[in-house]
Amino acid sequence: MSLKSKVTGLILAGGRGTRMGRVDKGLQPFRGATLAAHVLARLSPQVATVAINANRNLPQYQALAGESPVLPDYLDGFAGPLAGLQIGLQFCPTELLLTAPCDSPFFPTDLTERLHDAMLAQDADMAMAVTMEHDPEQPEAAPYRQSHPVFALLKASVLPQLDAYLDTGARRMEGFFNTLKVAEVLFEDSAAFSNINTLEELHHHERRAPAAPVASGPGPRDGDPPPMPVADAQRLICERIAPVDAIETLPLLAALDRVLAADIISPINVPAYDNSAMDGYALRGADLPTDGAIKFNVIGIAYAGHPFTQALQANECVRIMTGAPIPPGCDTVLPQELADAIEGDNVTIAANTIRAGANLRRAGEDLKAGGIAIATGKLLRPADLGLVASLGIGQVSVKRKLKVAFFSTGDELRSLGDKLDEGCVYDSNRYTLFGMLTRLGCEVIDMGVVKDDSQALEAALREAASKADAIITSGGVSEGAADYTRDIMASIGDVAFWKLAMRPGRPLAFGRVQSGEDSAWLFGLPGNPVAVMVSFYMFARPALLRMMGAESKLQTVQARAVEAIRKRPGRTEYQRGILSTGSDGAPQVRLTGAQGSGILSSMSEANCIVVLHHDQANVAAGQTVDVLLFDGLI
């Protein structure tokens, strides 16, 4: 078996690119290709297969990798190269894994061979490159030994040790390597291991250094990557977004529609005492007749708030109202309508009318003291406020309100009240977004309309990122010449995807925008009004709820299609529909008519969305389809 067949290559491209202005280093252009493409070209001939570890701009990396996998970190929060190494080892189908960073396009073409020779000779768990370096500030000083831990060959069997190391919270490569038997391999050409950390260094090497030839085989493909399937995009968003941490304590009356940040623990039993489930007569179950009938003497009355506290004797009962405490010794309530006869202070009860213990609500039956009344993550509704109040609790801990900035883009847009020039339209999307965000309970920041100008759009995105947790734009993400959003996202943050296999809403961008130390998630929605609503419903809304710490799962129902629906496989379609009840009592759905993404009236008329899944084909009349209800959402 050849050495190459034993080795998987891993390109480490999962960092933040902090020293390069937080751009994605691996995708920076360099001598006719991207940095990562040069690394791939130099790595591929040395290994059996290649994977790329990346946490941003996954479609671009997938286009570069071809059939090879692109692997985001398993750990959250850009945890460093060890997180990339972990996911690489989890994937690794061979006995050895070779790592190389995406910003070092000059490493030796015999790297694998030399590291492997040292591993065998020293019976090591791993081997890494070292060079002798000179300090430019002290040219007379002796050279020092510099290790390059990101250029390493490891046995795949070290994965359990790495998992255990990361579980401690440690993240330093040197710390983990100290737990292994390491072979160091001295390379004479220190320049071969140069890494490009800043744009200045990139420009310097662009002018001076020869890059690795971009060979045939795995490498960048012409054109953009294909549209991402909806399910993949939804999963990617879910993996990247985490709830906000900030918590505030509010009076109960101010907590409606807020997300609970801590479990509500009941300090009392609910009900607090045994009480009657209905109006009737409280008695001792042992006194009930086994045959014939018995006349009971009514000796008092019990109301909620005014209990009867006297102990009962044989064949005595107490008139009792719903919610009143059960008198001492009683364990049964006879509903008044089941009495055989009522004459003054006497009630006759026939045998087998009720069983002993009937019609009581026991203390703690709904909720026991110390139990969880409402769990963390619940979006508090009116009934929840009532439940909390019934426990005597007047304040609750909730997640802080999510701040969401939004604006529309386009020279053709006019605000309400402006003159409508030829070729212009009124901006409807901002009002739609305002309504959906407000209903969701967000703190909305309306930034108006931004013109089709790259500088204006970049300034707006930076301002929004400094103010908000999330940004929602409409327009500016299609493939038109004046659509800048995607390119600006890549320059001041990252783009996870920008094109989906769906209708309406194919051009939809998601990523992160940076503004100094601040950053915000960006959802670049299409400009067509219906596409805005559908893409918000399917992508932005679940993500915002997740950021709020609330349940975000959408519930579907199944309904019978009244008419045939045309659908081609290969994309998910969301068609506007009207759900009703058929003559047989079963749910049925029909489309609202024309389904163009600019036909806003179809959304206003609809009460649901008909979901036609990625691989689904034409639907015949009478077939069942999945339906999402609008009620309370849009």
Residue positions in the annotated binding site?
A: 12-14, 25, 53, 73, 103
In angstroms, the CA 279 to CA 286 distance is 20
Q: What are the φ/ψ torsions at residue 550 (nearest 5 degrees)?
A: -105, 160
CB 530, CB 593: distance < 8 Å: no
In angstroms, the CA 477 to CA 483 distance is 6
CB 273, CB 291: distance < 8 Å: no
Helix axes 485-492 and 454-467, enclosed angle (nearest 10): 50
Q: In one letter, which amino acid is 610?
A: V
Q: How far is CA 139 from the centre of its chain?
A: 53
Q: What are the φ/ψ torsions at residue 621 (nearest 5 degrees)?
A: -55, 135
Binding site listing for GTP: 12-14, 25, 53, 73, 103
**Is the alpha carbon torsion for 384, 390, 391, 394 positive or negative?**
positive
CB 433, CB 532: distance < 8 Å: yes
Instruction: Name the residue among 105, 81, 57 with its Cα closest to residue 201.
Output: 105
Q: In one letter, which amino acid is 604?
A: S
CB 294, CB 352: distance < 8 Å: no
Q: In one letter, which amino acid is 185?
A: V
In angstroms, the CA 30 to CA 25 distance is 10
**Omega prior to 81 cis, within 30 of 0:** no
In angstroms, the CA 436 to CA 525 distance is 14
Q: In one letter, which amino acid is 412?
A: E
| Cβ atoms within 10 Å, residue 356 | 12
Q: How far is CA 443 from the centre of its chain?
A: 19
In angstroms, the CA 514 to CA 78 distance is 15
388, 472, 591 from 440: Cα distances, Å = 22, 14, 26
Pairing of strands 346-350, 341-343: antiparallel
> Where in 379-505 does DSSP place strands (E)?
395-399, 403-409, 413-414, 425-426, 443-450, 470-474, 493-499, 502-503
Strand partners, 25: none
In angstroms, the CA 428 to CA 413 distance is 9
Q: Which two tokens stand for residue 343?
A: 């004459």
510, exposed or middle or buried, with CB in 10 Å at 0-12, 13-18, 19+?
buried
Q: Which two tokens stand for residue 439?
A: 């209903």
Q: What are the φ/ψ torsions at residue 188 (nearest 5 degrees)?
A: -75, -35
Q: How far is CA 235 from the centre of its chain?
A: 7
**Omega prior to 69 cis, within 30 of 0:** no
| Cβ atoms within 10 Å, residue 151 | 26
Binding site listing for Mg(2+): 103
Q: In one letter, which amino acid is 172?
A: R
